[in-house]
Amino acid sequence: MDFEYNSKTLEHLEMLREFMDEYIYPNEERYFEQVDAGNRWATVPLMEELKAIAKDRGLWNLFLPHSDRGAGFTNLEYAPLAEQMGRVNWSSEVFNCSAPDTGNMEVLDRFGTEAQKEAWLTDLLDGKIRSAFAMTEPRVASSDATNMEATGVLDGEEWVLNGRKWYISGAGHEDCKVLIFMCLTNPENSAHQQHSQFLVPADTKGIEYTRPMQVFGFDDAPFGHMEIDFNDVRIPKENILLGPGRGFEIAQGRLGPGRIHHCMRAVGQAERAVESMCQRGLDREAFGKPIVDLGANTQLIAQSRIDINMVRLLTLMAADKMDRHGNKVARSEIAQIKVIAPRVASEIIDRAMQMHGAMGLSQDTWLAKAYGVNRVRRLADGPDEVHLNTIAKTELRPYRKAKEASKQG
């Protein structure tokens, strides 16, 4: 593996840094002021303004590895770009590179029919609409997705969908026009061939948005994490993705790249937290000296640098393995980064909050919200425990086989 970014990545990385310095950081407060000033679930004027500039500069749809609809980056090449965009919670949307839209666009690009792509993918790639992915349910342990209670039943030329979903990210946004709904359709099949995914227009009769879910008191408007009831929601037969019983197959294709993106966004926020620790530690004085020289603050900064470099390299290795050998072969590495990246980011942001004192807990810095986002990442796309189990299974597999072979011999 080459530890140097290639020229194409470096060029776009510099363009993103310049864009962040010129347009994102100076507008962080303005963004939230606009969110609170009007309809909290509408696109703020600033976002549309910045999207137009990003498009004009060629910083648009940078994801979609191995697709002519994207910018042509591999997962490894895109990873540092995701890190840079992820330094501010809302900035990935400026470049049309935010979750869950990136994952949903990849699903449509890889698995959608031409009619489905024409109906939804074109507008998503243009940034005209947004989307959501309805999978998690409140009444079952969603860490085991085979527990899913929501159902889809074929009735003539229509599928009838029923179930309650929650923490459906992006569904609160007024521009969210389509949801990918995953549910049980083929209970007679083996466990991972029982579920299907459907494209559901957000205004379909029978969809009830019951409430926005909060995370540590934040509702994340205008993005939102909604609780939604699907009550006899009828959609055309052709709205199924790929085919009955193929929901998990789609999910595995979707989640690998998405986890690279999430983990590198976490690295970006951890990197920014270290910067804030260094600046705060040198600028603020207590007991006659800069606070960076009090207690173990220098050691915490040093440990943070070690932690970030470790996670970044592991994530890049996972991305490289995905590009070379596919998601299945890189399964353990993907699980490893999914566990360690949000953990490390949360720890480093917590250190930065501590060094900022009361201010670090307040709305006067970006830290408290970033801490909440990274704590969520330890549950989103599967909790740590599920991924640890995957890693252990992979690690133990050759030993189990050897033990079984010795018994038979």
Task: Go through 31-44 and write b for each residue having 16 or more CB atoms within 10 A of its CB, e for each that does not.
Answer: bbebbeeeebbebb
Give me the tens of pLDDT residue by residue for the chain, a chain 409 residues long: 678 999 999 999 999 999 999 999 999 999 999 999 989 999 999 999 999 999 999 999 999 887 889 899 999 999 999 999 999 999 999 999 999 999 999 999 999 999 999 999 999 999 999 999 999 999 999 889 899 999 999 999 999 999 999 999 999 999 999 999 999 999 999 999 999 999 999 999 999 999 999 998 889 999 999 999 999 999 999 999 999 999 999 998 787 889 999 999 999 999 999 999 999 999 999 999 999 999 999 999 999 999 999 999 999 999 999 999 998 999 999 999 999 999 999 999 999 999 999 999 999 999 999 999 999 999 988 899 999 999 999 999 999 999 999 988 7
Q: Is-above-0.85 flag for pTM? A: yes
Q: Residue 239: which of 198, 277, 276, 275 has the closest Cα? A: 198
Q: What pLDDT is attached to residue 1?
A: 67
Which residues are CB-neighbours of 164 under 8 A, at least 6 positions away? 137, 138, 139, 150, 227, 228, 229, 230
Token digits for 143? 């860490």
Amino acid 313 reads: L
Do 373 and 355 form a contact (C-beta atoms < 8 A)? no
Strand 289-290 versus strand 158-169 pairing type: unpaired
The DSSP letter of residue 326 is: -
Q: What pLDDT is attached to residue 55?
A: 97
Q: What pLDDT is attached to residue 408?
A: 87
Q: What pLDDT is attached to residue 252?
A: 83
C-alpha angle 252-216-337 in degrees, rounded to nearest 5: 35
- Ordered domains of the chain (ranges, CATH): 7-125 (1.10.540.10), 130-244 (2.40.110.10), 248-404 (1.20.140.10)
Do 298 and 275 form a contact (C-beta atoms < 8 A)? no
Amino acid 317 reads: M
Listed as own residue / partner, the contacts of 144-151 with beta carbons closer than 8 Å and 24 or more positions apart are 144/386, 145/182, 145/195, 145/248, 145/251, 146/191, 146/192, 146/194, 146/195, 148/182, 148/183, 148/184, 148/195, 149/184, 150/181, 150/182, 150/183, 150/184, 150/230, 151/183, 151/184, 151/185
